[in-house]
Structure 1
Amino acid sequence: MVSHKEARKLKQAQRRAKTAGRAAGHEVDKQDVPVLTSENCDQGSINATAADAPISLSYTLRGYEDGKPFERDLHALDRWATQAADSISVTISTTTNQDALPPLTVHLKQRASVFIGGQLWNTAFILACWFYARHAHGIHDYGALRVCEVGAGIGLLALALAALDARVTATDLADVVPILDDNIARNPHLAIGAGGVPRITAAALDWGDKDAVVPGYPFDLIVACDCIYSEVSAGDLVECLVRQCSPVTPGGPRPATIVWVVSEVRNESIQQAFLEQAREVFEIGYMDVDRDVSPYLPRELRTGLNVRWYVMKLKPGKDE
């Protein structure tokens, strides 16, 4: 079995060879993996590989119950059990070709005393599995993609994206950043790239701070995972997302920044409060969860998904 680093080197060599083939006028391999862009972010149909050979998820919870240490292995989502643990080890793997993409293991610490951001939420599992599966099945290549995660929490999704060779800026409130930094340090096999170059950076970002400067800008992709939880904060979230987007210039050198806001729907009125404000500045579509998300998840995660996935692009002139 090859390591993540060796697998990435192999993919990079394949991309260089295919680029050389194009220059020489050779036919390009039809199994080229497209780089994620604003034009293809919601493409990729269900196929037999995804349906019949799904990825697997397992995670181990560690902590204390009634003053005694416990360790528990889970495969299905259990938010209450997860958030009661002190530490979590998450492993995502493909059930077929582990030579092409080795299992991804992330070690995380939680801190329940930190409001919301100090614990792991279910949509982080869902997105981490989805990104891994789409890469494993050859639908998207995230190599060198510049990603900003808004509301990164303890860092599962950000570290998973870094493992897939994206360049990630993981943001959250200032009191969450030490947890992020600690979890990044716990996972050097995911966080550090070739030559010791970091693939992930943690940064403080208050949604209401209009002067906040986030390292890594401009971004190709912005992800906000389970960030719609209050009508009061919905407006600040929208304004924060606008500030992290690249200016929209028709025909310009950079494509529009993709914004994915993925939320477990607990309160419809809060979703509507977010939508009302987001529609003023963003073009908004939706990922079809049943068609484009569920088939790429572990079987244990496919049922009962009450998730809404907004696909957004900034309207021209709304970056001012």
Structure 2
Amino acid sequence: MAVASKFSRRFFNNPFPLFSFHFSSSTASSLPPPIRVALTDSVGRAVFATRSIAAADLIHTASPAVCHPSSARPACYACLASLPHSQPLRSPFCSQHCHQRSKGYYDVEMNANWVAFDDYCGTRGLKYPFLVKRLVCMVISGDARSDTLDILQPANFTPEMVSEMEEEFVLLKSAFTKALIGDEHIAFLTKQWYINVLARIRINAFRIELAGGPYEDLLSLAVASVEAEAAVGNAVYVLPSFYNHDCDPNAHIIWIDNAHAKLKALRDIDEGEELRICYIDASLDRDARRELLFRGFGFQCNCHRCLHGD
């Protein structure tokens, strides 16, 4: 028998879209979109230019499908904008707009006890389970679908890795169950669903560094040798996740004030050319780059720069 939910219907209605992207309006409206996504025989999905794109042009922007602030720096619960250190924890929003647009899943999260889950993940340095927790809250509140991230490429997990996820899943589901959320609202939350979502987050999560630090595109990898304190959080996007990697990219992704991503051209791009970003710190030497990419993404980089020993 389902436990009666203590949430009112206002938790399950939200007028705001989950995520979106749009193209630069700096060109005439009669022009086609500057990019298209297509399947390739060699690398799966890829992003291609539908027309010439000039260096420094804004290609498109994208809002995250799901994001979560870092525990190291105060950031807005909804958009990851930096917050003053003096701002009370009971009001973790940068604006009334962010408060309103995330109220549904914020209320879901705040009505559960996360001490055991947060302690477990925190002591082990785990970041991705917090993104799963946020997504579950969004699904429960009606702000997202349970299959939101299914379109993204998943990582491959070994049986040992799956076994290690058992306890964090149990703690996650237990928190919702103890919060008296009805069974009908968490029927999707199975161990297999948790693993499938985590597999997609693992290789598609971006580590969000706001402008003021380096502009290089860095993905949130457990193996990345970067300072956690430099990031305001992590986020997963749909369209930006279709960009393939190159150690000498022709595009990059930046964040100015919050997790609203901007994809910009690094140099002139020809019509039909594939747009690629760099998943890691491009200043690393070739061996370090290839090892990091193999460990984090499971592929051996054969871009022009790597093949020529740079």
Same topology, TM > 0.5? no
Q: Which has the higher strand share?
A: 1
Q: Which of structures 1 and 2 has the larger relative contact order (alpha carbons within 8 angstroms, sep 6+)?
A: 2
Name the TM-score, length of structure 2 as normaliser.
0.31
